[in-house]
Amino acid sequence: MDRVVGVSEKPLLAAATGHRPSRRPVWFMRQAGRSLPEYRALREGRGMLESCFDPAMVCEITMQPVRRHDTDGAILFSDIVVPLKAAGIDLDIVAGTGPVIAEPVRTAADVAAIRRLEPEEVGAVARAVSLLRAELDPTPTALIGFAGAPFTLASYLIEGGPSRTYTHTKAMMYGDPQLWHSLMGRLADITVTFLRVQLEAGVQAVQLFDSWAGILSRRDYETFVAPHSARVFAEIADHGAPRIHFGVGTGELLASMGQVGADVVGVDWRVPLDEAARRIGPSKALQGNLDPTVLFAGDAVIAEHVARVVVDADRAMAAGAIGHIFNLGHGVLPDTDPDAITRAVELVHSA
Ligand code: 1CP
Domain boundaries, the chain: 7-350
Q: What is the pLDDT of residue 139?
A: 97
User: What separation in Å is there between the alpha carbon of 34 and the centre of ligand 1?
Assistant: 9
User: What's the pLDDT band for 5 if we cut at 50, 70, 90?
Assistant: low
Distance between Cα 92 and ligand 1 center (Å): 12
pLDDT at 303: 98
Q: Which CATH architecture has domain 7-350?
A: Alpha-Beta Barrel (3.20)
pLDDT at 84: 98
pLDDT of residue 2: 41
Query: pLDDT value at position 9?
Result: 87
Residue nearest to atom 19 of ligand 1 (CA): 211
Query: What stretch of H or E contains 207?
Result: strand 205-209
Looking at the DSSP assignment, which residues form a beta bridge with residue 290?
A: 328
Mean pLDDT of 293-300: 98
Strands 243-246 and 264-266: parallel
DSSP string, 213-253: GGGS-HHHIIIIIHHHHHHHHHHHGGG---EEEE-SS-GGG
| Percent of the chain clearing pLDDT 90 (strictly above) | 96
Closest CA to 77 of 135, 25, 143: 143
Which atom of ligand 1 approaches the CA of 209 most closely?
17
Average pLDDT, rounded, for the chain: 96
Q: Give Cβ neighbours of residue 300 (< 8 Å, ≥ 6 apart).
A: none
Instruction: Report residue 1's pLDDT band, with 50, 70 and 90 as the boundaries.
Output: very low
DSSP structural state of residue 34:
T
Q: Are strands 73-75 and 142-148 parallel, antiparallel or unpaired?
A: parallel
Q: Per-residue pLDDT averaged across 90-96, rounded?
A: 95
Q: Whose CA is nearest to atom 39 of ligand 1?
A: 79
Which residues have a catalytic role annotated? Answer: 30, 34, 43, 79, 156
Cβ of 77 closer than 6 Å to ligand 1, yes or no, is: yes
Give pLDDT tens digits for 146-193: 999 999 999 999 999 999 999 999 999 999 999 999 999 999 999 999
- Which pLDDT belongs to residue 6? 60
